[in-house]
Amino acid sequence: MNNRIILVLLIVCSSVGVNYARDINIPDTVSVQSGKLSLKALLWRPVGMGPFATIIFCPGSYPDSDPRHDAVKDASLLGPLFARKGYIYLALFRRGMGLSKGQGVNSADLMETAFNKNGQEGRNTVQLQQLETDQLQDMMAGISYLRRRPDVDKHRMAILGHSFGGSLTLIVADHEPGLKAAIIFAGSGYSWNLSPQLRALLINAVKNIRVPVMIIHAQNDYSTTPGYALDSVMNQFNKPHELKIYPKFGNSVNEGHNFIFLGIETWEADVFSFLEKNLRS
């Protein structure tokens, strides 16, 4: 192959965002416009031409001051794994969280303020409002961003969510029928028993969802009740789905709740089998 042909190939690859020599463990930092806000996201990409099946990650809602959670570190535990499996993986930091700090207010801070002023009922009201407005808008903006990328296979996109982000994932899947699958880790594990409003919202969402859903909890999550309850509703309405309740993980409810990051070797085969079945070319 002469130098001229090599140069042409390099130009073509560059035009579609391909870099055969790149380290898939190192993400690109990209910007996602959500209304007037410029949110940041980390994007891991497989080596090759594409277009690739794509996952958008919907993280939980934690204040940046919580020492148990680092949104960037958490995303970095999952991104390279999905890229090695051949998926583009976008970890979007919604308004006020992680790399998007300074762009709007973190939903965790809004809920904490509401709780301090008006107790659990106040927190529940703000949580519901956030799920149906600002947080939903941010995730929809992330999906729109991905659809504009030439290396994304727009017909093979799925959403993965954790905790508050798991609840939000169900709302997004209800609003975005173009997705092919949704995976929920520890969705509403903390809030389900505390919020009748949230229970009603998620039950209504799974009644409407058309895409296959995988619901995952560790046995020692704050609660596995949401998994069983949503499984029951989806059975009643003949919705394609899987429920996985894994054995107790770690030594605390917090470790069980964060099984997505701490127990990758346990869930990896099941999750990728579900994705491969539902995101086939």
Confidence check: pLDDT of 16 > 70: no
**Distance in angstroms (rounded) separating the CA atoms of residues 225 and 167:** 14
- The average pLDDT across 86-100 equals 96
Could you tell me if residue 126 is inside a domain?
yes
pLDDT digit string, tens, across residues 22-70: 678 899 999 999 999 999 999 999 998 889 999 999 999 987 677 677 8
Residues 6+ apart with CB under 8 A from 258: 162, 186
Could you tell me if residue 13 is inside a domain?
no
Could you tell me if residue 148 is inside a domain?
yes
- The average pLDDT across 222-226 equals 98
Name the residue range of residue 146's domain.
Answer: 22-278
The CA-based diameter of the chain, rounded to the nearest angstrom, is: 72
pLDDT in the model for residue 85: 96
Please tell me which residue, 69 or 159, carries the higher pLDDT value: 159
Q: How many domains does the chain have?
A: 1
Six token digits for residue 40: 């940041």
R_g of the chain, CA atoms, integer Å: 19
* N residues, the chain: 281
pLDDT in the model for residue 22: 63
| Rounded (10°) angle between helices 164-175 and 196-208 | 40
Parallel, antiparallel or unpaired: strands 152-162 and 88-92 = unpaired
pLDDT in the model for residue 7: 38
pLDDT in the model for residue 9: 37
- The average pLDDT across 170-182 equals 95
Could you tell me if residue 56 is inside a domain?
yes
Could you tell me if residue 202 is inside a domain?
yes
pLDDT in the model for residue 205: 97
**Distance in angstroms (rounded) separating the CA atoms of residues 14 and 236:** 49
pLDDT in the model for residue 63: 75
Q: Please give the C-alpha separations between residue 20 and each of 3, 25, 49, in angstroms, as whole numbers.
A: 17, 13, 9
Confidence check: pLDDT of 207 > 90: yes
How much is the mean pLDDT over the chain? 91
**Distance in angstroms (rounded) separating the CA atoms of residues 184 and 190:** 14
DSSP state string for 180-212: -EEEEESTTTTTGGG-HHHHHHHHHHHHH--S-
- The average pLDDT across 178-182 equals 96
- The average pLDDT across 206-217 equals 97
pLDDT digit string, tens, across residues 225-264: 999 999 999 999 999 999 999 999 999 999 999 999 999 9
pLDDT in the model for residue 71: 85
CATH number where 78 lies:
3.40.50.1820
Could you tell me if residue 205 is inside a domain?
yes
- The average pLDDT across 155-174 equals 97
Could you tell me if residue 7 is inside a domain?
no
pLDDT in the model for residue 281: 60
Could you tell me if residue 44 is inside a domain?
yes
The angle subtended at Cα 166 by Cα 101 and Cα 188, nearest 5°, is 105
pLDDT digit string, tens, across residues 102-145: 999 999 999 999 999 999 999 999 999 999 999 999 999 999 99
pLDDT in the model for residue 94: 97
Please tell me which residue, 6 or 147, carries the higher pLDDT value: 147
Q: For the chain, what percent of residues have pLDDT higher than 70? A: 90
